[in-house]
Homo-oligomer: A and B are copies of this chain.
Amino acid sequence: MSIATDTFRNGVDTEKMFATLDLIKAQPELAKFRFRATNRWIDGSHNRSTIQGFYAAGGEDTTRGEAFELDAGEPAILLGADEGPNPAEYLLHALAACLTTSIVYVAAARKVELTSVESTLTGDMDVRGALGVDDEPRNGFERIGVSFRVTGNAPEEKLREVVERASKRSAVYDMVTNGVPVAVEVTTD
């Protein structure tokens, strides 16, 4: 029993984690993933994404028994009815979630037992850009602020190192800070 207990740290199966890393080192072609979302407009500012399958490790991953459904909306001031968080808020959530999971995984790999990870994210936007009123302000956030509070059984310096390493490995942090090429196709029938 103690072996099983020792394997899990921060809720992460570290034995499985290191086995996964070894496998991907040995067979890099298994590292090619493709994530997907389908979205459907419902009415006004309300639309819904469905997320379930994805391609991973050489084949379609069908382990998810049910699809996730995510509703997006807008608040009244942006002409919606709060049908869900708005898209820019979803982006803040994606960033918070990715940094947090990265912190938890990096800590698990480095034998740091965390007791809490909390964060507050803010995104500043001049909505004249997105509303098309003025070309000068950009459409998206001018800047994003992330404030983490991380506690665990390690000295402050070690905890800060974990956050720094996690930022350097977070998929969404990379995308949000550096951008990603996006290709848009349209059909109309």
Contacts and interface: CB of A to CB of B under 8 A. Distances in A.
Contact of A140 (B11, B117, B180): B180
Contact of A34 (B39, B46, B87, B122): B122
Given A140-B180, A185-B145, A189-B151, A31 B133 contact: yes
Interface in A155-185: 156, 159-160, 163, 167-185
A75 B95 contact: no
Given A12-B45, A159-B188, A177-B182, A119 B24 contact: no
Interface string A113-153: 01011111111111111111110011111111111111100
A107 to B, nearest CB: 10
Nearest to A50: B93
Interface of A is mostly: mixed
B188 A160 contact: yes
A101 B72 contact: yes
Given A39-B119, A114-B41, A172-B140, A79 B146 contact: no
Given A38-B120, A170-B130, A82 B64 contact: yes
B181 A130 contact: no
Contacts of A141: 35, 171, 175, 180
Contacts of A180: 123, 140-144, 176-177
Nearest to A91: B94
Contacts of A124: 32-34
11 contacts: A11-B46, A32-B126, A35-B122, A47-B117, A51-B85, A72-B93, A72-B101, A131-B169, A140-B174, A142-B181, A143-B181
